Each structure stands twice: as structure tokens, then as C-alpha cells.
Structure 1
């Protein structure tokens, strides 16, 4: 802790400024950084209440992150869309629709002019909409919208799962369907 300031108007409350040497963190590991900072700071039992209000990451450390595997240019190339913003949305309602109705929503917005749609992160494999059914109906919607508009469309399927093996299985299925 390199600085402590009392909180104005509050008794026994302080703002503490803490700095860590970069050598404590593995280069390019967001997980290591957050578990080190949050795990160690919030695990400090001498404090009854603690709140992290700000986190500043030095440029020297952020430069060690590789970033996404590809950027906007790859997406534009996949969709063959240039010179304008890409238009997309997350399908709503995100929960409660059957796989067939979810696929219908994907079709309607793609047919209506959007370039891509995506699954919400909460859409996984719930009893009312199992992942394989959702994947199949979304692929059907995507290809139907492409055929009717003559444009390349995209739908980004959420392939997350309870295990890495299941996630890989879902990702392979998405790739085989030709849906990212």
C-alpha cells in the first residue's frame, strides 16, 4: 500500500492505493493477474469489509496479451461486408423459447437486414432448448436467410458447456454445420 486516504464523511473508512511489481504476474495471463489481486486482497482476513473500486493495468503488461485470434477485418471478409458498420444483435428473449422459435427469431432478423446474430451467454443447453436442436435450427435459419437475401449472414453459437470435452464436442458440431 503506497497511499491511504480517509473517506470523506465516513468514520473508520479509507481508500488504499496498492501497487504490485509486474514480475509477480505471468505475462499474458489475465487469470493469473485477477486471481493474484482479487484472491490475495479479498483473502486478507484483517479487513472486515473491502471493495475494489478501480484497477489500472500498466501498458507494459497489457502489451503481453495476444488479443483475439482475429479482428474486424476477418469478420468483414467472412461476411463480405465493407464500407459500412456491421449490424448484429443478440437474440431476445434469451431464455424461454423453444429451439424452433429461437431459430425463427434468428431467421427473422437476418432476413430483415442484420448481418449477424449471436447467442446470449446464458443460452446453453436448457431443458426447453437443448444445444443440438438450437444449433440445427439456427443453421437452418442462417442458410434460409442467405438464400433469400443473396447475402452472407452469420450466427455466433454459444458452445460453452460444463466440461471442456462437451464444449469441444459442441464447437466441432458448429463447425460441421458451417456456423461459427
Structure 2
């Protein structure tokens, strides 16, 4: 790949010639439109037009994945050919402008009349272009340093109940979770700055509990405060977290937007926990939306430090293979020698029993393993829930089956009996 070009890969479905559709895509997302226009000289096209790198024909289907009035008006029938297309774009068309980069690789393409399916699968960047965007402020190494976990899985949990607790009640729960032995605690994505526990009260109350625990034990528990809001409010609340000695903030990426997250990144070096809620609307249809590789590229360019990937054998719709691939994406540098790896955050239905499958699939322990019910609902309480997860990961790392390890670890034994039958 040239230093002055970047690439995007798409899966399309069309009743037309995929090679011709690829040319339409290249023109639409660079200097062209549906027909050549005045001023679109050969020199301009040479300088600014996207180009088609490859067109790989895949299978054909008898029915379209999505409706298309443009094709229906023309009486265009199938079969509908699927193809993988790689386009090459000039860096100069974009510059270091993340919203525009997103609009070029994932904008009007989804509305093209020529297709009955369009999915952005991946984005590949040259190192020089990647360096023009934000880097993670903490990433893998900084997160481990701030949480005091130099090796092994970081064990985390989520504030439950999701909403309804007052600031004082939240702080009391955080105190219990700190004592339970967690490395990481986060707000739920639906609890940001509610009337019953505003951040101006919740942040000081929670951090007082974290500091008391640190004074007793020397352990700083990382708390990700959900500061999702308009940009000025997020910056204000990030400053409050920093003043209170906190180390992490969280934002709902899709609803804040690239510009807000970029501004937040520039204003703080706190670890930025990127929550992807809403991503399913962009990804669950196989022939529509954005695949995780491309999605996480865009948000990593905004400077996040952690990315949610859901969890294996979890409660959500994703296949385990998609979760695994997403986790691998997070720990792969975006552009060669640039170390911009971020922490994959596993959650959704996780408990001690999902540790072996996770380790077998991922093959490393650079991850945040979060359990809500898997900790809070343990029959012997949250401390036993945390212990069961640590015991499960320790056994898995040494190659010991959980049933065998459970014989000498009561917390793990209880977890297997209680959660394993569900």
C-alpha cells in the first residue's frame, strides 16, 4: 500500500456486473457522480479519483437481501451476485479528518441504487497516515499500570442494578466491589448523569470509596464513569474524575460521535473506555452496515483505549467466532510498526465457566473480563464471584479442567453448580 493511499474492503450484492458497480462506488466516493461533469478533467481524476484494486466474485443468490426501488423501477431482475471489492482512496482527499474519512468509506454507498447489499468490512491505513490521528492515551500498557495488574486478565464488573441507586448507594456498592477484589468497575451504558445520582455527586462519592480502599490495601481499582453527554459536559465531568484521582471514563461511542470523542481525547489522558452499544444496528445484517474491523479502526483513530467485543457463550446475538475476531482486531496494530493496541473488553453473560473457551480462542490474557451477574449473583456474594473467576482463569492458564480445580476451590465449585445449570 502506498503512503498516500488507504484502502477499504466491501461486500456487495447486485444484479449488475460487480466490476461496473465497483467503478460506480469509486467515483461516487471521490470526485465523480453518476455522470461525468464539467470540470472533471483527466488530470483531476488522476489526482483525486478512488480506484478499484480488486473485484472478487462470490456466490449468487435467487432473491435480493434488501429491497431497492431504483432497480425495481428499471425492471432489473436477478440473479443477485455477491462480490468482495477493494477500493483505494487518496489520503489527500481526506486529510486527518475522521468524520470525513467515515463519510468516504461508509457514507452514501449504503444508498446506491446499484446494490441490494453493501457492507464495509475493513479499512487498511499506511503508517504515516495513521500517525496523523489520535493514539490511545493508555492502551494496553497504560491500563495495566493504572489498574496495578502487570500480567494476567483484568477482572471487572458492572454496577448493578443498572439504574436507580443514589450516589451514596452507588459508592457503597463500589466499596463492596473493591473489597471483593476487582480490578475494574464500570457504570452501565444506560446510567450516565441521572437525576437520582448526578455525576457531580456520584464521582466524588465513588472516588472517596476507591481512595479508602487504596489507603487500606494499596490497590487502585479502575472505575469507568459513564460521562456520555454533549461535549462540554463530558469534558467537565472528565476533569472532575481527574481531580478526584480517577483513572478512567466511559462514553457511548455511537451516540456521542467522532468529533465529541476526539475532543474528549485531546482534553484528557484518562483511560477512555469505548462502549459500542447500538453497534448491532450497524452490523447484524450480513449484507448491510459495518463489520467490526472497520468499525474499531475508526474509533481507534479517535483515541479510545478499550473497545467492547461482547463475550463468548454470552447473552447477545453474535457468534463466538465474531467475538474472537473482534478481540484479535483490538490487539492488532492498525498500521505496522505503530503500537496502538487497545484493551478488548469482554462482557455479556460472562462468568467463571466461560474462561476456558475465551482463553482457548484468544490465546492471551491481554483482555478485560467483565461479569455482572456472574459476580453479583454468586450464591456466596460478590467476593466469591470474583474469586471464582480468578480461580477459573488460573486453572485455565495452567491447563487444569475447571471441574478438577473446583474440588479444592469452593467459590469456583459453587459457581459451576449455580451458573452451569442455567
108-117 or 140-149: which moved more? 140-149
* Structure with the larger strand share: 2
Residue 26 (structure 1) aligns with: 95
Cα pair 1:111 1:149 within 8 Å, conserved: no
Mapping for residues 140-179 of structure 1, pairs under 5 Å: 140-162=208-230, 164-179=231-246
Residue 15 (structure 1) aligns with: 82
For 1:21 and 1:48, locate their aligned partners in 2 and report how far apart those are by CA, in whole Å: 21
Cα pair 1:91 1:120 within 8 Å, conserved: yes
For 2:220 and 2:161, locate their aligned partners in 1 and report how far apart those are by CA, in whole Å: 24
CA distance 1:21–1:124, shift in 2 (3 Å): same
Pairs aligned (count): 177
Return the TM-score normalized by structure 1.
0.77
Return the TM-score normalized by structure 2.
0.37
The structure with the larger Rg is 2
Q: Give the SS at the match of 2:223.
A: strand
Alignment match of 2:154 (pick from 49, 61, 86): 86
Residue 95 (structure 1) aligns with: 163
Cα pair 1:100 1:134 within 8 Å, conserved: yes
For 2:157 and 2:184, locate their aligned partners in 1 and report how far apart those are by CA, in whole Å: 7
Q: Which runs of 5+ in 1 are unaligned?
A: none
Q: Which runs of 5+ in 2 are unaligned?
A: 1-21, 23-51, 64-77, 248-422
Q: Give the SS at the match of 1:8.
A: strand
CA distance 1:71–1:4, shift in 2 (3 Å): closer
Residue 137 (structure 1) aligns with: 205
For 2:171 and 2:188, locate their aligned partners in 1 and report how far apart those are by CA, in whole Å: 14
CA distance 1:85–1:4, shift in 2 (3 Å): closer
- How large is the Cα RMSD of the aligned pairs? 2.9
Shift of 1:95: 2.8
